Amino acid sequence: MLTFIGLGLWDEKDISLKGLEAIKKADVAYAEFYTSRLMGATLEKLEALYGKPIKVLDREDVEQHPEDSILKDAVDKDVVFLTGGDAMVATTHVDLRLRAQKMGIQTAVIHGASIASAVCGVTGLQNYRFGKSATIAFPYRSIVSETPYDTIKMNKANGLHTLLFLDIDKAQGYMTINKGIELLLLVEERRKEGVLRDALGVGVARAGSPEPCVKAARLDSLKSYDFGGPLHILVIPAELHFLEEEALEALAGLRL
Ligand SMILES: C[S@@+](CC[C@H](N)C(=O)[O-])C[C@H]1O[C@@H](n2cnc3c(N)ncnc32)[C@H](O)[C@@H]1O
Protein backbone atom coordinates (compact mmCIF):
# COMPACT_ATOMS: atom_id res chain seq x y z
CA MET A 1 0.00 0.00 0.00
CA LEU A 2 1.31 3.47 -0.89
CA THR A 3 -0.37 6.56 0.59
CA PHE A 4 0.59 10.04 -0.64
CA ILE A 5 0.24 12.56 2.18
CA GLY A 6 0.36 16.34 1.75
CA LEU A 7 1.97 18.00 4.76
CA GLY A 8 0.60 21.50 4.15
CA LEU A 9 2.44 24.78 3.93
CA TRP A 10 4.63 25.76 6.83
CA ASP A 11 5.49 23.41 9.70
CA GLU A 12 4.92 19.94 11.15
CA LYS A 13 1.51 20.96 12.54
CA ASP A 14 -0.06 21.67 9.13
CA ILE A 15 -0.79 17.99 8.45
CA SER A 16 -4.40 16.74 8.64
CA LEU A 17 -5.43 14.38 11.44
CA LYS A 18 -6.08 11.73 8.78
CA GLY A 19 -2.55 12.19 7.49
CA LEU A 20 -1.07 11.99 10.97
CA GLU A 21 -2.98 8.79 11.77
CA ALA A 22 -1.82 7.22 8.48
CA ILE A 23 1.84 8.00 9.25
CA LYS A 24 1.56 6.64 12.79
CA LYS A 25 0.23 3.29 11.60
CA ALA A 26 2.54 3.00 8.56
CA ASP A 27 5.46 0.55 8.43
CA VAL A 28 7.75 2.93 6.54
CA ALA A 29 7.71 6.70 5.91
CA TYR A 30 9.43 8.37 2.94
CA ALA A 31 9.46 12.08 2.05
CA GLU A 32 10.75 14.38 -0.66
CA PHE A 33 11.56 18.05 -0.23
CA TYR A 34 12.79 19.00 -3.70
CA THR A 35 9.39 20.12 -5.05
CA SER A 36 8.46 22.11 -1.95
CA ARG A 37 9.53 22.51 1.68
CA LEU A 38 8.06 23.22 5.06
CA MET A 39 10.34 26.11 5.98
CA GLY A 40 9.05 26.25 9.56
CA ALA A 41 10.02 22.64 10.34
CA THR A 42 13.13 20.48 10.45
CA LEU A 43 13.28 16.77 9.70
CA GLU A 44 13.76 16.15 13.43
CA LYS A 45 10.60 18.09 14.29
CA LEU A 46 8.60 16.16 11.68
CA GLU A 47 9.90 12.84 13.00
CA ALA A 48 9.19 13.81 16.61
CA LEU A 49 5.55 14.76 15.98
CA TYR A 50 4.84 11.96 13.51
CA GLY A 51 6.57 9.39 15.76
CA LYS A 52 8.48 7.78 12.90
CA PRO A 53 11.88 7.97 11.21
CA ILE A 54 11.53 9.52 7.75
CA LYS A 55 13.69 8.51 4.79
CA VAL A 56 14.22 11.53 2.53
CA LEU A 57 14.40 10.80 -1.20
CA ASP A 58 15.90 13.03 -3.87
CA ARG A 59 14.49 13.70 -7.34
CA GLU A 60 16.41 10.81 -8.88
CA ASP A 61 15.18 8.31 -6.28
CA VAL A 62 11.56 9.32 -6.91
CA GLU A 63 11.56 9.89 -10.65
CA GLN A 64 14.25 7.53 -12.00
CA HIS A 65 14.48 4.52 -9.68
CA PRO A 66 11.50 4.41 -7.31
CA GLU A 67 11.41 0.62 -7.61
CA ASP A 68 14.73 0.46 -5.67
CA SER A 69 13.21 1.96 -2.53
CA ILE A 70 9.67 3.25 -2.09
CA LEU A 71 7.89 0.96 -4.58
CA LYS A 72 9.86 -2.10 -3.44
CA ASP A 73 8.72 -1.49 0.14
CA ALA A 74 5.13 -0.72 -0.85
CA VAL A 75 4.68 -4.19 -2.41
CA ASP A 76 4.23 -5.84 0.99
CA LYS A 77 4.35 -2.97 3.51
CA ASP A 78 2.18 -0.02 4.47
CA VAL A 79 4.23 2.90 3.06
CA VAL A 80 3.52 6.64 3.29
CA PHE A 81 5.09 9.26 1.02
CA LEU A 82 5.18 12.79 2.44
CA THR A 83 5.47 16.02 0.45
CA GLY A 84 5.05 19.74 1.09
CA GLY A 85 1.67 21.27 0.22
CA ASP A 86 -0.65 18.82 -1.51
CA ALA A 87 1.17 15.80 -2.91
CA MET A 88 -0.56 16.07 -6.29
CA VAL A 89 -0.35 19.84 -6.92
CA ALA A 90 2.48 21.08 -9.18
CA THR A 91 4.49 17.90 -8.74
CA THR A 92 5.20 14.83 -10.82
CA HIS A 93 3.87 12.39 -8.27
CA VAL A 94 0.99 11.14 -10.36
CA ASP A 95 3.65 9.26 -12.33
CA LEU A 96 4.79 7.50 -9.15
CA ARG A 97 1.18 6.65 -8.33
CA LEU A 98 0.60 5.15 -11.77
CA ARG A 99 3.81 3.12 -11.56
CA ALA A 100 2.66 1.75 -8.22
CA GLN A 101 -0.77 0.84 -9.60
CA LYS A 102 0.85 -0.99 -12.54
CA MET A 103 2.83 -3.07 -10.02
CA GLY A 104 -0.44 -4.01 -8.34
CA ILE A 105 0.20 -1.75 -5.32
CA GLN A 106 -2.92 -0.18 -3.82
CA THR A 107 -2.63 3.63 -3.56
CA ALA A 108 -4.43 6.47 -1.80
CA VAL A 109 -4.06 10.24 -1.39
CA ILE A 110 -4.53 12.25 1.81
CA HIS A 111 -4.66 15.91 0.84
CA GLY A 112 -2.83 18.84 2.39
CA ALA A 113 -3.25 22.61 2.15
CA SER A 114 -1.64 23.75 -1.10
CA ILE A 115 0.03 26.98 -2.15
CA ALA A 116 -2.31 26.91 -5.17
CA SER A 117 -5.32 27.65 -2.98
CA ALA A 118 -3.45 29.60 -0.27
CA VAL A 119 -2.52 32.24 -2.86
CA CYS A 120 -6.21 32.99 -3.35
CA GLY A 121 -6.76 33.01 0.41
CA VAL A 122 -4.05 35.55 1.20
CA THR A 123 -4.51 37.85 -1.82
CA GLY A 124 -8.25 37.77 -2.52
CA LEU A 125 -7.61 36.88 -6.17
CA GLN A 126 -10.40 34.62 -7.40
CA ASN A 127 -9.50 30.98 -7.95
CA TYR A 128 -11.64 30.62 -11.09
CA ARG A 129 -9.71 33.44 -12.80
CA PHE A 130 -6.35 31.60 -12.90
CA GLY A 131 -5.07 30.16 -16.17
CA LYS A 132 -2.15 27.82 -16.77
CA SER A 133 0.64 28.14 -14.21
CA ALA A 134 4.40 28.03 -14.88
CA THR A 135 7.68 27.77 -13.01
CA ILE A 136 10.39 30.41 -13.26
CA ALA A 137 13.57 28.33 -13.28
CA PHE A 138 17.11 29.47 -12.54
CA PRO A 139 18.87 30.09 -15.90
CA TYR A 140 20.53 26.97 -17.26
CA ARG A 141 23.98 27.79 -18.78
CA SER A 142 22.88 31.46 -18.80
CA ILE A 143 19.78 30.64 -20.85
CA VAL A 144 16.64 32.26 -19.46
CA SER A 145 13.51 30.24 -20.25
CA GLU A 146 10.78 32.15 -22.10
CA THR A 147 8.04 29.69 -21.08
CA PRO A 148 6.77 31.73 -18.09
CA TYR A 149 6.61 34.85 -20.29
CA ASP A 150 4.65 32.98 -22.98
CA THR A 151 2.31 31.59 -20.34
CA ILE A 152 1.60 35.10 -19.00
CA LYS A 153 1.02 36.34 -22.56
CA MET A 154 -1.48 33.57 -23.29
CA ASN A 155 -3.29 33.94 -19.95
CA LYS A 156 -3.50 37.74 -20.24
CA ALA A 157 -4.99 37.41 -23.72
CA ASN A 158 -7.71 35.27 -22.12
CA GLY A 159 -8.24 37.58 -19.12
CA LEU A 160 -6.64 35.07 -16.72
CA HIS A 161 -4.13 35.40 -13.87
CA THR A 162 -0.80 33.53 -13.96
CA LEU A 163 0.61 31.71 -10.93
CA LEU A 164 4.40 31.48 -11.12
CA PHE A 165 6.12 28.91 -8.94
CA LEU A 166 9.71 29.86 -8.15
CA ASP A 167 12.51 27.37 -8.59
CA ILE A 168 14.09 25.40 -5.76
CA ASP A 169 17.60 24.28 -6.66
CA LYS A 170 20.14 22.29 -4.65
CA ALA A 171 23.02 24.62 -5.55
CA GLN A 172 21.23 27.96 -6.00
CA GLY A 173 18.66 27.70 -3.23
CA TYR A 174 15.18 29.20 -3.23
CA MET A 175 14.37 31.70 -5.96
CA THR A 176 13.07 35.00 -4.62
CA ILE A 177 10.20 37.04 -6.05
CA ASN A 178 12.79 39.73 -6.91
CA LYS A 179 14.88 37.30 -8.97
CA GLY A 180 11.76 35.93 -10.68
CA ILE A 181 10.70 39.45 -11.74
CA GLU A 182 14.23 40.24 -12.92
CA LEU A 183 14.18 37.14 -15.17
CA LEU A 184 10.73 37.99 -16.57
CA LEU A 185 11.83 41.55 -17.34
CA LEU A 186 14.94 40.24 -19.15
CA VAL A 187 12.65 38.32 -21.50
CA GLU A 188 10.41 41.39 -21.92
CA GLU A 189 13.48 43.44 -22.85
CA ARG A 190 14.54 40.83 -25.43
CA ARG A 191 11.09 40.25 -26.94
CA LYS A 192 9.83 43.84 -26.75
CA GLU A 193 6.19 42.65 -26.96
CA GLY A 194 4.95 44.81 -24.12
CA VAL A 195 3.28 41.90 -22.30
CA LEU A 196 4.65 43.23 -19.00
CA ARG A 197 4.44 46.96 -19.76
CA ASP A 198 3.14 48.63 -16.54
CA ALA A 199 2.19 45.14 -15.32
CA LEU A 200 1.15 44.48 -11.77
CA GLY A 201 2.64 41.68 -9.72
CA VAL A 202 1.47 40.12 -6.48
CA GLY A 203 4.19 38.52 -4.38
CA VAL A 204 3.48 36.10 -1.54
CA ALA A 205 6.14 34.90 0.88
CA ARG A 206 5.82 32.23 3.60
CA ALA A 207 2.11 31.48 3.12
CA GLY A 208 0.80 29.51 6.09
CA SER A 209 3.40 30.91 8.50
CA PRO A 210 2.62 33.25 11.40
CA GLU A 211 4.19 36.08 9.35
CA PRO A 212 3.28 35.79 5.69
CA CYS A 213 4.16 38.73 3.43
CA VAL A 214 1.79 39.77 0.65
CA LYS A 215 2.53 42.75 -1.57
CA ALA A 216 1.02 44.00 -4.82
CA ALA A 217 2.60 46.71 -6.96
CA ARG A 218 3.92 47.45 -10.45
CA LEU A 219 6.74 45.04 -11.31
CA ASP A 220 9.39 47.77 -11.50
CA SER A 221 8.82 48.66 -7.83
CA LEU A 222 8.00 45.12 -6.66
CA LYS A 223 11.34 43.87 -7.98
CA SER A 224 13.21 45.63 -5.15
CA TYR A 225 10.66 44.98 -2.36
CA ASP A 226 12.04 43.02 0.61
CA PHE A 227 9.83 39.95 1.09
CA GLY A 228 12.06 38.30 3.70
CA GLY A 229 12.82 34.58 3.82
CA PRO A 230 11.51 31.75 1.59
CA LEU A 231 9.36 30.29 0.15
CA HIS A 232 8.19 32.89 -2.37
CA ILE A 233 5.62 32.80 -5.17
CA LEU A 234 4.48 35.40 -7.74
CA VAL A 235 1.20 36.12 -9.48
CA ILE A 236 0.89 38.26 -12.61
CA PRO A 237 -2.78 39.18 -12.59
CA ALA A 238 -4.93 39.89 -15.61
CA GLU A 239 -7.26 42.89 -15.45
CA LEU A 240 -8.69 42.90 -11.92
CA HIS A 241 -12.33 42.42 -10.99
CA PHE A 242 -13.33 45.36 -8.73
CA LEU A 243 -13.56 43.02 -5.72
CA GLU A 244 -10.06 41.69 -6.39
CA GLU A 245 -8.77 45.25 -6.63
CA GLU A 246 -10.39 46.11 -3.31
CA ALA A 247 -8.90 42.96 -1.72
CA LEU A 248 -5.41 43.74 -3.03
CA GLU A 249 -5.67 47.28 -1.65
CA ALA A 250 -6.75 45.96 1.77
CA LEU A 251 -4.59 42.84 1.98
CA ALA A 252 -1.55 43.56 -0.19
CA GLY A 253 -1.05 47.32 0.07
CA LEU A 254 -1.93 47.96 -3.59
CA ARG A 255 -1.87 51.68 -4.53
CA LEU A 256 -2.78 52.25 -8.15
C1 LIG B 1 6.46 23.11 -7.30
S2 LIG B 1 5.43 23.90 -6.16
C3 LIG B 1 4.77 22.56 -5.24
C4 LIG B 1 3.51 22.96 -4.55
C5 LIG B 1 3.05 22.02 -3.45
N6 LIG B 1 2.88 20.67 -3.92
C7 LIG B 1 1.72 22.56 -2.90
O8 LIG B 1 0.66 21.95 -3.14
O9 LIG B 1 1.75 23.61 -2.20
C10 LIG B 1 6.55 24.61 -5.01
C11 LIG B 1 6.65 26.11 -5.18
O12 LIG B 1 5.45 26.71 -4.67
C13 LIG B 1 5.77 27.89 -3.96
N14 LIG B 1 5.41 27.67 -2.54
C15 LIG B 1 5.17 26.50 -1.91
N16 LIG B 1 4.84 26.70 -0.61
C17 LIG B 1 4.86 28.03 -0.41
C18 LIG B 1 4.59 28.87 0.71
N19 LIG B 1 4.24 28.37 1.90
N20 LIG B 1 4.68 30.22 0.53
C21 LIG B 1 5.02 30.76 -0.66
N22 LIG B 1 5.30 30.01 -1.76
C23 LIG B 1 5.22 28.67 -1.64
C24 LIG B 1 7.26 28.14 -4.14
O25 LIG B 1 7.44 28.97 -5.28
C26 LIG B 1 7.79 26.73 -4.38
O27 LIG B 1 8.99 26.72 -5.09
206 lines ligand 1 (CB under 6 A): yes
- pLDDT at residue 91, rounded to an integer: 78
Atom of ligand 1 nearest to the CA of 83: 6
- pLDDT at residue 41, rounded to an integer: 98
- pLDDT at residue 90, rounded to an integer: 81
- pLDDT at residue 186, rounded to an integer: 97
Confidence class for position 256, pLDDT limits 50, 70, 90: confident
Estimate to the nearest angstrom the gap between the alpha carbon of 158 and the chain centroid. 23
Mean pLDDT in residue range 175-184: 98
User: What is the rounded CA–CA span in Å between residue 65 and residue 223?
Assistant: 40
123 Cα to the center of ligand 1, angstroms: 15
The mean pLDDT of the chain is 97
For residue 171, pLDDT over 90 is answered with yes
Question: Would the CATH topology of 2-110 be identical to that of 115-252?
Answer: no
Give 30-73 pLDDT, tens digit per residue.
Answer: 999 999 999 999 999 999 999 999 999 999 999 999 999 999 99
- pLDDT at residue 17, rounded to an integer: 98
Confidence class for position 92, pLDDT limits 50, 70, 90: confident
Confidence class for position 158, pLDDT limits 50, 70, 90: very high
User: What is the rounded CA–CA span in Å between residue 61 and residue 66?
Assistant: 5
22 Cα to the center of ligand 1, angstroms: 23
Q: Where are the domains of the chain?
A: 2-110, 115-252
Is residue 79 annotated as involved in ligand binding?
Answer: no
| Residue whose CB lies within 8 A of the most ligand 1 atoms, among 115, 162, 209, for a mutation test | 115
Give 103-157 pLDDT, tens digit per residue.
Answer: 999 999 999 999 999 999 999 999 999 999 999 999 999 999 999 999 999 999 9
For residue 83, pLDDT over 90 is answered with yes
Give 7-35 pLDDT, tens digit per residue.
Answer: 999 999 999 999 999 999 999 999 999 99
- One of 3.90.1200.10, 3.40.50.300, 3.30.950.10, 3.30.413.10 is the CATH number of 115-252, namely 3.30.950.10
179 Cα to the center of ligand 1, angstroms: 16
9 lines ligand 1 (CB under 6 A): yes
Amino acid at 104: G
85 lines ligand 1 (CB under 6 A): yes
Where is average pLDDT lowest: 89-93, 217-221, 242-246?
89-93
Nearest to 5 by CA among 29, 25, 34, 27: 29
In this structure, which residue's CA is closest to atom 23 in ligand 1?
A: 231
- pLDDT at residue 163, rounded to an integer: 98
Is residue 209 annotated as involved in ligand binding?
Answer: no
Is residue 166 annotated as involved in ligand binding?
Answer: yes
In this structure, which residue's CA is closest to atom 2 in ligand 1?
A: 90
Predicted complex: ipTM over 0.90: yes
- At the top level of CATH, which class does the domain 2-110 belong to? alpha beta
36 Cα to the center of ligand 1, angstroms: 5
Residue 147 gets which letter from DSSP?
H
3 Cα to the center of ligand 1, angstroms: 21
User: What is the rounded CA–CA span in Å between residue 202 and residue 29?
Assistant: 36
Name, in order, each residue with C-beta under 8 angstroms of 235's C-beta and a sequence gap of 6 or more. Answer: 119, 123, 125, 161, 162, 163, 164, 201, 202, 203, 204
